Amino acid sequence: MKLAAILIVAATMACRAREAPVGAAASPTAAPAAAAPATAPTPSPERLVGRWLRSDSDYTIEIASVAPSGKLDARYLNPGPIHVERAESGMVDGLLRVFLELQDRGYPGSYYTLTYDPGSDSLSGVYHHLGVNQNFDVAFSRIPPAP
């Protein structure tokens, strides 16, 4: 049942990213998104490329590239590598979203749903830990590139 819910959330996110124009509501029943100031440009998915450190631990997301389809070339480290089953990005209700599903020992389909904040250059959202059936509010900050 939980897997079905995960797949529905991921599919909805992927469909919205492909079907809805930037800033448009994804469905007629969706609540209207808050209007962004006219000077705030829509962030490019390329802004996701880089290394991101979780604020409460040494967990790291590394995003090497973003395909035009929204598929991310991503790695997850805790501190060793954890298999990333699926990594996608897309615009949903005018926001740049990230979906990262993990599939490894201790990570039975656990996943992140994150939103990119261009003002703080950060990712925040929820980690859905299916191994313990809990959700955690999380935030990631960009790790500056080495000089």
Q: Is residue 93 part of a domain?
A: yes
> pLDDT per residue over 3-52, tens digit each?
333 333 343 443 333 333 333 333 323 344 444 445 467 899 999 999 99
CA–CA distance, 108 with 129 (Å, rounded to integer): 8
Are 97 and 13 a contacting pair, CB within 8 Å? yes
Q: Is 91 a member of any domain?
A: yes
Of 22, 42, 39, 16, nearest to 116 (Cα)?
Answer: 42
Reading the block at residue 144, the tokens are 């500056």
- Number of domains present in the structure of the chain: 1
- The mean pLDDT value of the chain amounts to 80
User: What is the domain range of residue 121?
Assistant: 2-19+52-143
The verdict on residue 14 lying in a domain is yes
31 lies in some domain: no
Residue 47, domain member (yes or no): no
In this prediction, residue 2 has a pLDDT band, given cuts at 50, 70 and 90, of very low
Higher pLDDT, 24 or 140: 140
Strand partners, 91: 96
In a domain, 94, yes or no: yes
> Which residues touch 38 (CB under 8 Å, ≥6 apart)?
none
Residue 82 lies in a domain: yes
With beta carbons less than 8 A apart as the criterion, state whether 103 and 14 touch.
no
